[in-house]
Every structure is written in C-alpha cells, then in structure tokens.
Amino acid sequence: MTIVESRSKRGDSADGTIGGRLSRLDGRLKITGSAPYALEQPIKGVAYGVLVQSRIAAGRIVAIDSSKAEAAPGTLMVLTPDSELHLTVASDWYGNRPDNQPYYPLSRDITFNGQAVAAVIGETLEQASEAARLIDITYEEAPAIVGFDDPAAKEGKRLDALTVTWGDARSALAAAPVRIEAEYRTPREFHVAIEPHGLTAEWVGDTLTIWEPSQWTHGMARTYAEWFGLPYENVRIISPFIGGGFGSKATAYAYGAIAAAAARRLARPVKLAVTRPQTFTAFGGRAATRQTIALGANSDGVLQALVHSGASETATYADFPEQTSAATPLMYAVENFSAEHRLVAVNTIVPGALRAPGKNPSTFGLEGAMDELAYAVGIDPVEIRLRNYAERDPQSGKPWSTRRLREALSAGSVAFGWPRRSLAPRSMRNGRHLIGWGVACGTFPVLRASSEALVRILADGSVEVVSGAIDMGQGTYTILAQTAADALGVPVEMINVRLGDSSLPGATVAGGSMLAGAITGAVHKAASAAREELIALALNDGSSPFRGTGANTLTVAEGRMAVPRDGGMSISIRDLMSALGRQSIETRRNTLPDNEQGPDSHRKAWTTMGSIRGPTAGDYSMHSWCAHFVEVKVDEDFGTIRVSRVVSAFDCGRIYNPKLAESQWRGGIIMGIGQALLEEGLVDHRNGRLVNNNLGDYLVATNADIPEIEVISVGIPDKEASVLGGKGVGEVGIVGVAPAIANAVFHATGKRMRDLPITMDKVLGSSPPSKD
C-alpha cells in the first residue's frame, strides 16, 4: 500500500490549509523515481502478453495458423477468437447491462484496422513478441468506410437526445439583417499519455488482483468482476500513481480482459503492456467532427438566431457522440435556437472521452463563428461577447449558480493589453512576422458525484486520510491533506494520504472535473466528525486532562487542543491520545443523501455513473468558465505559426490550491495549442490504417512550442457546486484555446482557419486576404 506522507522540511506548512499553495506531496516520489506505477510492480513469476492486431479495416478472419507461434521458444499460450474465455458482457458506465450476453475480446469479425485478433503469452516479452510475429492470419476483406470524406460515408443518424430547439431559429435567421454561416472541422485526436496502457493480472483462487493505471478503481473493478462472474469484493484494482490519463484510463478495455483471462488459464501472473502504436487503436480518442453554424444578428451584433448542425465519427459497432452542440446552447443569449448532432459510422474503434469531450469541439465552431460575426458588423470580438452575454442559462432558463465570465473577459483583457489591439486584419506586424491577437471563451459543466473517505487520528498525533480515489497528477493527494488539515486543525506535515485502491473507501471517477469536489467534501465531512469525536472524548472521558477544567468546548489548532480562554490548558493531540489510552480514532463518512446509505446505493455511487447529477439538477445551472487571449506570430514568407503569448482567466469557484489549479489550467492550454497547430490522426484511405501512430509523427506540443502562459482566477466560492465551493478545474482549461488561436491567425493574416490543425499549407493557401 502506498502512503503519500505530508511530513517534510520544505517549509510548506504555512500553505497547508485549503487555499494554500502547497507543493504536490507526491512530487518528491516522482522526481526521484520512487513512485510505483502499475506496470512496474515486482510480481514474482510473471509471464508476458503481446497483442496481435488486424491489418484490415473491415471483413472477417477465415483462418488463423498459430502453430509456429505455439512451437516458438518460451511460448506459454496463444489466444485466438477460437479460444473460449468464458466472459460475460459487463455494464456500461451507468450500470446498464444486457442479460447473460457473452463477451469476446478477440473476434473473427473485423470492424477497424488495429483491432485485437490474437494474443501470445510468453516467458519473456521478447519471446512473446517474436511468437506473435509468427501467427499467420488469412482475411476475407470487405469494403470499409474510413472517415467523413469516404464516398461511402452516410449522413449519419440524428440523436434526438442531443437535439435542442427554442423559438423559430430558421425563420429568425432568414429575417436577420446580418448573417454568417460556415463549416468547422476537427480531426481525430489521441490521448498519447506518456505512460502506456497495460496491466498485470494475478489470480489467487477466485480472487483477482489487477495492477493497472486507473482513473476509477471502483468502476474498473466492477467491470472485471462482471466479465468473470465474480463478486465485486473478489476484484482489487491497485493504481497509486498514473502517468497521464485525460479520459483514457477510466474504464477497462479488451486487452485487460485478455490478460486476466490468460492469467487464470495459466495460473500465474500475466503482464500485458500496450505498445505505443497500439495505444492509438486499443482504445478510442477524440472523434473527428464537422459542424455548420449559422448566426443571425442585427446591425449591432446582437444575436437573433443560431442554427447549428454537427456530426462526429463513431464506430460501426457502438456509439459514442463527441457532442458538437455541447456548449452552443449555453454561451450566449439568443431567442431563437436550433441544434442537432448526428453520428456517422466508420470503421474505427469506438471513440472515447478526451479532455473536455464535447465542449472542446463545440466551442471551436461557436467561438470561431462569433469572431466572424464580430468582423461582419465591425465590432471588437470582446465587445460582441459582452453584448450577447447570457444572464441566465438560455437552455434551462435557470439562474447561474455563479458565472463570472464577464469578469474573466475583463481581467484577461486588461492583463493581455487587449485595448491596444487594432481591429483590422494584417494591421499588426514585427518585421516579417504578422502579429495576431485572438480571444475565445469556454465552459465545462459542474458534474456532482458522491464519494467516501476514512479519517484516522493515530496515537502519535498523525492523521491518515484513506480513499479509493486516484491521483493522475492533478493533486488529489495534496488537496486531501490540505482539506483534512483545515478541518482537523492539524499541521499538514502530520497528514498521510492513501489512495488508488478499489479495496479502500469508495470514490467517483477522476473525470469530468468531478473528483475534487466530491472527495474533498467526503474528507471534510469525515475529518470534521473525527475532530468532534476527539473533542467529545477530551471533555467527557474520565482519563482526559480536560475533564476537570469546566470547559464546555475546546479548540484544535496546530495539532494541539486547548481550552478557549486566556491561560487555558493546551496539550498536543499526541499527549491527549496517550492520556485517553487510545491507539486511534476512526471516522468514515460519505456525501450521499441520508436516504441512499444502503449497500446497493453505495455500490451504484462508487462503481457507476448512475448517481451523478448534471449541471442543472437543482435550482441552478452550474458551470466553470474561461476566457483565453492569445497572441500569434505568423511568418509572412513561410507560413509558420508560433503562439507567442497567452493570458487566460478562469471562473472555477473556490480554488483549493492555486499552485495546482494553475498547473491544470496551463496543462489544458498547452494541449489546446497542440490541438490547434499540430495534432491530427492521419488515416490511409486504402486500408483504414492510422499512419502516424507514434510520437515521432503524431505531433504534440513540446517546450519549444509553448510561450509564457499567464492564468488568472476570478472565481468566488460556489456552495451550490460543491461542499467547499469549488467548481471543476481540469477540463475547462483546454476549452476555447483552439478557436482563440484560429481567431488570432485570422487577425494576423486575414485568412479564416476553420479546419484543424492550422498548418503552413493552409496559411499559405490561395484564399485572398480578407477585406474586413
């Protein structure tokens, strides 16, 4: 069990309560190489698994010859679609499960290039890899649809649940004095976390232990239990540290079922590490999207109509919508609105959640269109956003819990120097570099979940905080130590935090920016209960030195308990625990309502998303907000683009730890720069194969691509959003970055960039400079 200790001599104690800039408690373990990641667990007798992937995009396997692989040195087992693994389909994220439907992680039917079709288990990784190369597969190939632009691609199916309308948008659009309409496109994007996916699976009788990077230990344990027909308690997921997830490590995948099934058949542990190229097809990234947005406004730029038609790719065998209309109904006041979303089935793995799913591509279209409208009416892009400011949620009609987007625009504008911007494109330059300034806004919903925590005060005065929640770099260890220190009145150096294990108290997924609000609430509740229990013992126990003081209440601060009057008795918690003869005081609390405290309610809350409340579940509409201001320099001769300055202002409610929140915001902005300028999954249209499935060809932003980034918090505590007043931080940082860059490129060059990524060839294209 990994315990991250707060004890140190770094001088951080002054920042050890909520709101302080405490450095990450797990930082030292990571920079010294002491943090144990899942695939580094030293398991005795481990065998090694290697996946074999399909080489066609559609069709079926007609023959598999594995004889050479089986005869190769060190081969222990070869699994093919003919291997009966005795698995059952598991529930989806919301707990819905078909009855007794068999699950085949290896299939003869091929639906995308790179699909797992076989696996080899060997004594060593090298032997398994060589044997995998010897498997001979014969395919019967079928026509494949490899993307939006494939001639065989259909219009797609319209999703009624994602259709939003009010007023008469098309009539109002037709009557509007000013109209703009354009199509915006985003390509396939991938997670490319530095830590590859994989696991080690070990069986002891009917008990399964999995060491796997996990954003949701309890949810993944439920999946494995259902696959193998086990009681939930018989599966344990251990994941104390994660090397990046971004949404891709919140669920169990086919390779996990394969490795665990192999381990059961071999009766020995099996490790399966997904290779870097395989990470592009072993699980889904962000789907490609396209969307057409039409805005109608009066001559002052006030919106009268918004018509939005979007689509995203999905797999031929399962649906996952990258909701292009996710942000459109929220951002601006408009009396007539219409939005729809379609799914276009192509031969790809089913897409998945990648940082700010839905909201990210949605704002690329909307914020680009708003910039185009600003130029159509000759209004500053910040001013047009303020003129169309929504004072309440336009879709639900509910008031915002807090919405300080106006303050974000103001603070960001001042810090960036926006008033010095000239409106005309191509009007700012530095030598051969065209200078462009762009702005865009973003949002992400407050998703409210429940979690559980255990707090234990020990005899030496230290405190343990225990939860199955995870930390993938966002700072869970640190903010939970700060939360407990705040509630208990104990120095943060005396707090030890244990996380990342499904056998520990239940927690929601680290996704959707919901974990911090949920788990700090649980820790605060448990720590407050422990404090009250300690005070009660101090006042009432016959062995307590406070028994005869006549005090009816006590204070706890800096690890000491005291009578709240001048000269009153004061002793350390350690000495009090000794006097009481107590080895520990333990409290366990959760944030579920009183009527949901049974085992079934707990299981639903910790292992499914069925209990999660959306942003409008209640009297208010709750969201985080941001405004990005970006400067770009475009080389007039070569068309190269460099983001040279970023200022972003955020409303994320109360900030539990500014240092960690700022890091999350900057991380999202950096990913947004990569999305705008570099990232693009390239598919070979002959066979549906992703051709840049490596970190040499799939380009992401590096230090050389990133300028100074200034981030500003304008939020205030939002007690509707969470117990401690915080709103989501991790997802919102990327939302709006790409359109801000695209808008800045237009300001620099006069050319609209509606198709990501923005590359040299597009900048140097033949379209003439704008006359705006």
Q: What is the pLDDT of residues 37-88, one digit of tens each?
A: 999 999 999 999 999 999 999 999 999 999 999 999 999 999 999 999 999 9
User: Is the pLDDT at 770 greater than 50, yes or no?
Assistant: no
Q: CA angle 645-647-650, nearest 5°?
A: 155
What whole-number percentage of the chain has pLDDT above 70? 98
CB 17 within 8 A of CB 485: yes
The pLDDT of residue 8 = 42
Instruction: Report the mean per-residue pLDDT for the chain.
Output: 95
How far apart, in whole angstroms, are the C-alpha atoms of residue 507 and residue 516? 10
User: Is the pLDDT at 170 greater than 50, yes or no?
Assistant: yes
Buried/exposed 487-496: b ≥16 CB within 10 Å, e otherwise:
bbbbbbbbbb
Cα 299 to the chain's mean position, in Å?
40
User: Is the pLDDT at 682 greater than 70, yes or no?
Assistant: yes
503 phi-psi bin (left φ>0, alpha ψ -120 to 50, beta other): alpha
User: Is the pLDDT at 12 greater than 70, yes or no?
Assistant: no
Letter for the amino acid at 748? A
For the chain, domains (ranges, CATH) are 3-35+449-607 (3.30.365.10), 41-143+252-273 (3.90.1170.50), 289-446+616-763 (3.30.365.10)
User: Is the pLDDT at 7 greater than 60, yes or no?
Assistant: no
How far apart, in whole angstroms, are the C-alpha atoms of residue 769 and residue 750? 5
Buried/exposed 350-364: b ≥16 CB within 10 Å, e otherwise:
bbbbbbbbbbbbbbb
How far apart, in whole angstroms, are the C-alpha atoms of residue 714 and residue 716? 7
pLDDT-based confidence at residue 550 (cuts at 50, 70, 90): confident
Cα 136 to the chain's mean position, in Å?
39
Give me the residue label for tokens 């509910």. Answer: 398
> Would the CA dihedral through 525, 530, 535, 536 be positive or negative?
positive
CA-wise closest residue to 212 among 302, 119, 274: 274
User: Is the pLDDT at 732 greater than 60, yes or no?
Assistant: yes
The pLDDT of residue 749 = 98
In sequence order, which residues have a C-beta less than 8 Å from that of residue 278 and are 6 or more positions away? 51, 53, 114
Letter for the amino acid at 107? S
User: Is the pLDDT at 454 greater than 80, yes or no?
Assistant: yes
The tens digit of pLDDT for each residue in 51-60 reads 999 999 999 9
pLDDT-based confidence at residue 6 (cuts at 50, 70, 90): low
CB 502 within 8 A of CB 221: yes
The pLDDT of residue 548 = 84
Preceding peptide of 757 cis, ω within 30° = yes
346 versus 10: the higher-pLDDT residue is: 346
Residues catalogued as catalytic: 731
Tell me the helix, strand and coil percentages in the chain, rounded to 5: 30, 25, 45
Give me 708's structure tokens. 């100074």
CA-wise closest residue to 708 among 627, 647, 621, 640: 647
Give me 567's structure tokens. 């000269």
* Averaged pLDDT for residues 282-292: 98
The pLDDT of residue 767 = 53
The pLDDT of residue 28 = 93
Burial class (CB in 10 A: 0-12, 13-18, 19+), 289: buried
User: Cα-flanking dihedrals φ and ψ of residue 107, to 5°?
Assistant: -135, 150
Least confident piece of the model among 110-119, 228-237, 304-313, 563-572: 563-572
How far apart, in whole angstroms, are the C-alpha atoms of residue 714 and residue 393? 20
Letter for the amino acid at 25? L
Letter for the amino acid at 67? S
- The residues that bridge with 684 in the sheet, in sequence order, are 689
pLDDT-based confidence at residue 9 (cuts at 50, 70, 90): very low
* Averaged pLDDT for residues 195-203: 97
The pLDDT of residue 16 = 83
pLDDT-based confidence at residue 565 (cuts at 50, 70, 90): confident
How far apart, in whole angstroms, are the C-alpha atoms of residue 494 and residue 462? 5
> Would the CA dihedral through 279, 285, 290, 295 be positive or negative?
negative
The pLDDT of residue 2 = 60
How far apart, in whole angstroms, are the C-alpha atoms of residue 149 and residue 157? 16
In sequence order, which residues have a C-beta less than 8 Å from that of residue 734 and are 6 or more positions away? 355, 356, 360, 442, 668, 669, 671, 672, 675
* Averaged pLDDT for residues 115-131: 98
User: Is the pLDDT at 222 greater than 60, yes or no?
Assistant: yes
